[in-house]
Structure 1
Amino acid sequence: MGISRDSRHKRSASGAKRAHYRKKRKFELGRQPANTKLAGPKRVHIVRTRGGNFKHRALRLDSGNFSWGSEAVTRKTRVIDVVYNASNNELVRTKTLVKNAIVQIDATPFRQWWESHYGQVLSKRKTAETAEAKKVSSSVARKHTDRTEDAKVEQHVNDQFNTGRLYAAITSRPGQSGRCDGTSSKIIHLSHSKALLLAWVSWPCLVCMTKNQVSDVQAVVLCGPGHRLSPLTDEEKLPKCMLNIANRPMLYYPLTWLMQAGITDVIVVASTTGGQRLQNYLTRIFDGGRVELVLLEEYRGTMDALLAVKSRLKNDFMVVSCDLITDFPVAKFVERCRLSSALVTSLLATPTCMCFGQQPKESTEPKHRLLDDGGKERTLTWMHQDDIEEGNMTFSMALLTRYPNVHLYTDLSDMHCYLFRREIFEKEEMMHKLFSIREEFIPKLVKRQFGVEDYHRCEVLTADSGYCLRANTLSSLAECGKQLARIMGSNGTRLVSQAAEIGQKTQIGNDSLIGDQSKVGDKSSVKRSTVGNYVHIGNNVKISNSIIMDYAQIEDGVKLEGCIVGYKATIGEKCYLKDCDVGCEYVVERDTTLKGELMGCSREMFIDHKE
């Protein structure tokens, strides 16, 4: 018979089943569909009622009365298409008309009213020169003249009149009244190609961000010294932000991510050492956007770098590390911050997101212990893994009393991407005493958010799809190169440059990158590796799971497994290196066999620096 809405299937309080003493009844059937699809002229819909009876409901859904609230005018017009529904995309696919759905209507009745009321043409298709001059009486002409000051329409509305279609929201209940009426007064019109609508501005739960709404956000990209990437980095010859990842500088990825989202006011903060090379790169690659380079004499920490550009920040701003590589939507990030009015919103990533579809591995990135209010994304406690003593975590009883239902996360990694409100600088006195944004400032903000005089809100946004990576250590740098090569291969990008020279009988794996002007000798093999630009690889060389930076020299008979070879480094003939990291411009003598070594710096220098 169908799905029933009776209560006979429910169990009693003791768990016992109820006896089925009768069969299903017609009047107990589930809710019947309204059948309010946008199709054809008016029709009669049979509705089941009590007592096994039926009634007939007339539906006229091909047209309706729509009002233009700002002009106080209502016209009957044709409904053309359903373009958005906040509750279910299936209702858009099937073109079902329900209350609050966003539809496209014929703009002709409103255009005709505008032209007769104001005496002006409201479309580029029909300009004043091409339109035939209509004779009107002197009284009508005076009325048109008096109404000239009010004859103003916003540009995005005028653009829709040019297409002949207007966006509108349905305010009636088509399934109950059989009519499709609506309004265009409370809806912000956008181009359908962007497929983003701000329907019903009074609804705080539905806000979709566009590039125009994200463009007022500024961004600060912090380029630290990169001590954790030693020996590959060199403050003068090769700063951290210019390290090669998948044959592009590290700084390329966050800048491209921000600009593609519509953020063009970007400030790059770096040390004066190596600043000229960085300035040349920004001028050559990102000349179209507004990228400002600020050089500091002494880069002591992320908090000092942020305070150094305080005078340049006039709006809400993002703080991004130069080693962030992600495809997370910036619009979603800004949307969350503005909907919740949070003082700071942080981006965290799950292990699945950090390995891009592969099996999650044990990450060397420090984990954070995060406590939120039962899935509402408000951060209650923020602890670093190193701050937990003997595996014990302490929570305030007042906090747990106020929020009895909480979630505890232990596997999230901080991506060093934060969105701050401009009001954050009201706490400048506290900021001057701190060194790190991630390790000190964010935990203090979370801890103090419940104060009476200093009440604010801190939130997090978790990236659980796509990819979200950080190349801030040697192991993560190597992993990022492999992940990006895999992503580029899945997108159909050419992995071997046309300007590269490949020798005879040389095997290049499907997941390996070969940069411009690089040369690979005869009978060599490159598998699951990234080879930079202007790299010379000799004959009979075996490279696997490795990263070769720009201008490196790999001589004949070398075998590399799981290695990172730095900028302008040289590997002598017949060397065998496994799980080794070779520093910038370092020379490895011929016939060297090493395993798990760091060449180019002391191990103490690598371990001591954690920021």
Structure 2
Amino acid sequence: MGLLEKPKQQQKLQEFQAIILAGYGSSNRLYPITEDDNIPKALLPVANKPLISYTLDWLEKAGITDAFVLTQSMGNAQQKIAGYLARGYQGNVHCNLIGVDEDFGTADAIRSISDRITTDFIVLPCDLHCEMIPREFLDHHRINNPTMTGLFYEPPKGEKGSGKEDELAQYIGIDTAESRLVHIADCDSSEDGDLSLRMSLLWRFPRVKFHVNLLDAHVYIFQHWVLDLIKAKEKISSIRQDLVPLIVKCQYQRKLVENEDMDAALEDPLDTALSLSTVYDEFDENLLNEHDPYRSNFKSNIKVNTVIYRDGYCGRANTIAKYSEMNRLASKQGLSIRRVAETAEVTQKSQIGNDSLVGEYTKIAEKSSVKRSIIGAHCVIGKNVKIANSIIMDHVVLEDFVKLDGCIVCNNAKVLEGSSLTKCEVAGGYIVERKTEENGQKLVGFREAI
């Protein structure tokens, strides 16, 4: 287990601690751009900034300055992220980088650092880019004081990257009167696609609106006591698949609360206060409901709230398509960002579109064109090169007369003279031979197993 700590500027009383899940474990959906020869998921460039920098900026805007960054201890991901946090990150979030077993689920990873979490905590992925003002999300949690608050978002209509490789659609049931999340399940959880509900849910929450177009941002705020539940129940391995559904069901299932030894959730402080009142006329609902197996006076203090963001962009770069879309939106026309770095050398006869970016110390020779694309730092682009709808990472060489359309070319790769690639991903360090023509391929070098 490794640890990198950035010195705190001053000691502050923290309301929340953040846990950033920095792409540990499998990243198959981002293959081959997260191969060892390239860079870890957390450092993938989005508009020439590391992906995790957007998450850290979001936390800083929220006023959260204490974060644990969890990444896999195997491979070189931990070392590379450590280098960025020590030398490249210029923000004010104090980051503790910790390596965890790559086989750990998200809840397992949190369990492994539970003794270091001393406040309520927010869990979020390293691949999130959200335009929502973070204080709106935190204030909702502060006002309602639920056990958990989750962030969901509605993707824009016609959003690219909504194909088969995306997450499964979910049935999201929300009691709109209280913004309570009362049901969450994958839409394919039953063969016929029918939605099955417990009567206890309907008695407790009779007015529920179900959504199938919402996506889970995987951003959750938990009360500190949830750590005790995670530590006590080793069967809870995943936050999304194990912990969240359990907490949601405990809002209305008495037996589940009792079986999980969460009896404290049955105690209602209001009932206790009223029982001590000299003017309150206690009414025993048990007399009405003692013969009804579904409708009872069960009250759980467990409360799960939701915030739904619809007013701007919110998304995760957890697939190739979504990663490309995030780059497109981060560099679109009209944004007040520098299009061509001061140190870049672009000949006058080359054309750089106003929806493209060119990184530091990159050289672009004459009669080349760049449209709707992002080019990283220290790249060498030859003559008569045509680049469209593509992402070119750092230290890439594109020789003369190369054509790229809809491609991702990773660090230190070379595309030799006269090659034409369409919708291809070129792995880090890979060399594309002269006059290669490929469409829709993943170009990866063979490596022997160690």
User: TM class, shorter-chain normalised?
Assistant: 0.7 to 0.9
Distance change in 2, residues 1:553/1:236 (3 Å):
closer
Distance 2:191 2:352 in 1: 49
Counterpart of 1:532, as a letter, is G
Rounded Cα–Cα distance in structure 2 between residues aligned with 1:464 and 1:300: 32
Amino acid at match of 1:276: Q
Aligned residue for 1:596? Answer: 440
Q: Where do 1:332-343 residues align within 5 Å? A: 332-343=136-147
Deviations 1:168-195 (A, max 9, x none): xxxxxxxxxxxxxxxxxxxxxxxxxxxx
CA shift, 1:213, in A, is: 11
1:530 corresponding residue in structure 2: 374
Kindly indicate whether residue 245 of structure 2 is the aligned counterpart of residue 443 of structure 1. Answer: yes
Q: Do residues 368 (structure 1) and 214 (structure 2) align?
A: no
Paired letter, 1:541: V
| 1:258–1:412 Cα change, 3 Å | same
- Asked if 1:503 corresponds to 2:347, the answer is yes
Q: CA deviation at 1:339?
A: 2.0
1:513 and 1:530 in contact (8 A); partners too? yes
The Cα shift of 1:394 comes to: 0.8
CA contact (8 A) 1:496 1:515 kept: yes
Between 1 and 2, higher relative CO (CA 8 Å, sep ≥ 6) is seen in 2
- Displacement of 1:215 in angstroms is 4.7
2: distance between equivalents of 1:235 and 1:222? Answer: 18
2:220 is the alignment partner of 1:423 = no
Please identify the structure whose Cα radius of gyration is greater.
Answer: 1
> What is the match of residue 21 of structure 2?
222
What's the offset of the Cα at 1:572?
1.6
Kindly provide the CA deviation profile for residues 198-247 of structure 1, in whole angstroms up to 9, marking residues without a partner as x: xxxxxxxxxxxxxx999521101111243321101134752111111110
Tell me the secondary structure at the aligned position of residue 244 of structure 2. Answer: helix
Equivalent residue, structure 2, for 1:558: 402
Q: Residues of 2 paired with 1:555 and 1:537: CA distance?
A: 6
- 1:463 is matched by which residue type in structure 2? Y
Q: Give the distance between the partners of 2:426 and 2:432, measured in 1 at CA.
A: 8
Instruction: Go from structure 1 to structure 2 and tell me whether the alpha carbon gap of 1:370 and 1:288 turns closer, same or farther (over 3 Å shift).
Output: closer
Aligned-pair CA distance for 1:260 = 2.5
Q: Please give the TM-score of this superposition, normalised by the length of structure 1.
A: 0.60
CA distance in 1 between partners of 2:444 and 2:33 (Å):
8
Provide closer, same or farther for how the CA distance between residues 496 and 464 of structure 1 changes in structure 2, counting only shifts above 3 A: same
State which of 580, 593, 603 in structure 1 corresponds to 2:424. 580
The whole-number CA distance in structure 2 between the counterparts of 1:391 and 1:458 is: 25
Is 2:151 the partner of 1:350?
A: no
What SS class does the counterpart of residue 331 from structure 2 fall into?
helix
1:519 alignment counterpart: 363
Corresponding residue for 1:470? 316
Is 1:264 aligned to 2:65, yes or no? yes
1: distance between equivalents of 2:67 and 2:91?
Answer: 12
- Could you say what secondary structure the match of 2:111 adopts? helix
**Cα distance change of structure 1 residues 321 and 472 upon mapping to structure 2, 3 Å threshold:** same
Give the CA deviation at 1:432: 1.9
User: CA 1:351–1:518 in 2, change beyond 3 Å: closer, same or farther?
Assistant: same
Give yes or no for contact 2:200–2:253 (8 Å, CA) kept in 1.
no
**Structure-2 change in CA distance of 1:594 and 1:431 (3 Å):** farther
Distance in 1 between residues matched to 2:202 and 2:95, nearest whole Å: 45
Relative to structure 1, the CA distance from residue 378 to residue 214 in structure 2 (aligned partners, 3 Å threshold; closer, same or farther) is farther
Question: Aligned in 2, Cα 1:589/1:236: closer, same or farther, shift over 3 Å?
Answer: closer
SS at match of 1:428: helix
Deviation per CA, 1:535-583: give whole Å up to 9, x if none. 1111111111111111111111111111111121111211111111111
CA contact 1:531–1:547 (8 Å) conserved in 2? yes
| Conservation of the 8 A alpha-carbon contact between 1:375 and 1:407 | no
**Contact 2:137/2:307, CA 8 A, preserved across alignment:** yes
* Partner Cα distance (1:571, 1:262) in 2: 44
Cα deviations by residue, 1:87-139 (Å, 9 ceiling, x for unpaired): xxxxxxxxxxxxxxxxxxxxxxxxxxxxxxxxxxxxxxxxxxxxxxxxxxxxx
Distance 1:471 1:245 in 2: 9
1:256-284 CA-partner distances (Å, limit 9, x unpaired): 11012211011111122322221121122
Note if contact 1:535-1:550 (Cα within 8 Å) is conserved in structure 2.
yes
The question of 1:280 aligning with 2:83 is answered yes
Counterpart for residue 405 of structure 1: 207
Amino acid at match of 1:480: M
For each residue in 1:11-54, what CA deviation from the matched residue of structure 2 results, as whole angstroms up to 9, or x when unmatched? xxxxxxxxxxxxxxxxxxxxxxxxxxxxxxxxxxxxxxxxxxxx
Structure 1 position 381, deviation (Å): 0.6
The one-letter code matched in structure 1 to 2:152 is L
Once residues 178 and 144 of structure 2 are traced to their aligned partners in structure 1, the CA distance between those partners, rounded to angstroms, is: 10
**In the TM superposition, what is the alpha-carbon distance from 1:512 to its structure 2 partner?**
0.4
Cα separation, 2, equivalents of 1:220 and 1:482: 27
Ranges in structure 1 where 5+ consecutive residues have no aligned partner? 1-211, 603-611
Cα contact 2:200–2:252 (8 A) shared by 1: no
What letter corresponds to residue 116 of structure 2 in structure 1?
Answer: R
* Pair 245,386 (structure 1): closer, same or farther in 2 beyond 3 Å: farther
SS in 2 for 1:590: coil
CA shift at 1:431, angstroms? 4.5
Contact in 1 for aligned 2:29/2:318 (Cα 8 Å)? yes
User: Does structure 2 conserve the Cα–Cα contact (< 8 Å) formed by 1:244 and 1:550?
Assistant: no
Displacement of 1:287: 6.8
> What is the distance in 2 between the residues matched to 1:237 and 1:213?
37
Distance (Å, rounded) in 2 between the aligned partners of 1:527 and 1:330: 33
Q: CA deviation at 1:252?
A: 0.8
1:542 has 2:379 as partner: no
Closer/same/farther in 2, CA of residues 299 and 567 from structure 1, 3 Å limit: farther
Q: Does structure 2 conserve the Cα–Cα contact (< 8 Å) formed by 1:234 and 1:240?
A: no
Match of 2:324, as an amino acid?
Answer: A
Contact 2:401 2:417 (C-alpha < 8 Å) held by counterparts:
yes
3-state secondary structure, aligned to 1:462 = strand
TM-superposition CA deviations, 1:446-486 (whole Å, max 9, x none): 12222443431111111111221211111111000000001
Aligned-residue sequence identity (percent) comes to 35
Corresponding residue of 1:180: none
Contact 1:346 1:461 survives alignment (8 Å): yes
> What amino acid is the match of 2:66?
D
In structure 2, what residue type is equivalent to 1:281? Y
Q: Quick one: distance in 1 between partners of 2:178 and 2:161?
A: 28
Contact 2:397 2:414 in 1 (8 A): yes
Cα distance in 1 between the residues matched to 2:47 and 2:13: 28
Unaligned runs of 5+ in 2: 1-10, 255-262, 266-299
Q: 1:260 to 1:511 in 2, by over 3 A?
A: same
Count of residue pairs brought into register by the alignment: 384
* Offset at residue 601 of structure 1 (A): 7.5
Secondary structure in structure 2 of the residue aligned to 1:543: strand
Task: Give the corresponding residue for 2:414.
Answer: 570
| Matches of 2:86 and 2:22, distance apart in 1 | 17
